[in-house]
Structure 1
């Protein structure tokens, strides 16, 4: 006789978490605290810091706070989620440059949105489908995220800055702020 086994959902999504409503968007970034969620992949910190610097220099954003995940391939912990949601007005999370980390980066953005924090998730274009699949699994198939040109890990500082500048208009668009 065949037995049934309980399957665990690897996405971290609880039953009934089908909320696909975005957090209220800010009118401007003036004075807002920017959370930067680094997933530990090479050049993620540099990309996030470059974007934050641009938002501060040209869009009057306030301070930025860098947070680092324990592991790139899973969504952020509940403890870190609560800390970020309590300390930041908007969040940028990056960089998904492989299948599992792209999916986790999108999951992080959705979890933060559901916690009330407008968030931009950044993956690389080679793993766009991974991110889109995670958004669908999370019950948020229309979740908008940005994909930088792949690869990211092997870039020089100047190349990372170029990717950050290229991403900026979409970061602003996703946050709902005029550029």
Structure 2
């Protein structure tokens, strides 16, 4: 008799994929801990650090913590998801600037929202459809994520700082704050 192998659903669907409810939104970001989830794509770290600096300057966040995924093309592993959810009040995850990493970045945002952590997922505008498709596949078709102008990988430090500053109004909107 041959052994049966477990099949994985390549769409990323699992038992968590039925909930399209956002995590409760903070009234303010002042004093909160912000998790910055780097997906290892070029310039993700720098973009996220700039976003963290801007969130501290504009909204008075207490602390930013940078985390790094193992691989850009897959959703965050459960162990890292739990760690970030335990240590942070809100999360910003980036950067989706290709098809698979955009889908995974949006999937990460959905997973954090389902874990009760308000999240902003950031993709470049050229891959908005990939992100939207993943939100649909995850059972969260209305998941609101942020797009920044493509490309991100080839930008210099000043351009990344400009992208971070330009993203602040949408970050505040998605998180539901008006600080």
- Please give the range of the TM-score, normalised by the shorter of the 2 chains: over 0.9
What secondary structure sits across from 1:31 in the alignment?
A: coil
Give 1:139-150 correspondences, 5 Å limit. Answer: 139-150=139-150
Q: Distance in 1 between matches of 2:58 and 2:171?
A: 13
Root-mean-square deviation over aligned CA pairs? 1.4
Of 71-80 and 54-63, more deviation after overlay is shown by 54-63
1:96 — aligned with what? 96
Aligned-pair CA distance for 1:6: 7.6
Matches within 5 A, 1:1-179: 8-15=8-15, 17-179=17-179
Flag structure 2 segments of 5+ consecutive residues without an equivalent.
none
TM-score (ref. length: structure 2) = 0.94
Task: Give per-residue Cα distances to partners, 1:128-157, cap 9 Å, x unaligned.
Answer: 000000000000000000011000000000
8 A Cα contact 1:11 1:75, kept in partner:
no
Task: Report deviation, 1:13.
Answer: 2.7
Segments of structure 1 that go 5 or more residues without pairing to the other structure are: none
- C-alpha distance in 2 between matches for 1:166 and 1:16: 33
Q: Are residues 63 and 16 of structure 1, via their aligned partners in 2, closer, same or farther at CA, if it must alter by over 3 Å? A: closer
How far apart in 1 are the matches of 2:16 and 2:177?
A: 31
User: Separation in 2 of the partners of 1:24 and 1:41?
Assistant: 29
SS at match of 2:18: coil
Q: Is the contact made by 2:33 and 2:90 (CA closer than 8 Å) also made in structure 1?
A: yes
* SS of structure 1 residue aligned to 2:110: helix
Is the contact between residue 95 and residue 101 of structure 1 (CA under 8 Å) also seen in structure 2?
A: yes
Distance 2:58 2:107 in 1: 29
CA distance in 2 between partners of 1:119 and 1:20 (Å): 13
Q: Equivalents in 1 of 2:7, 2:87: separation in Å?
A: 35
Under a length normalisation based on structure 1, what TM-score does the superposition of the two structures give?
A: 0.94
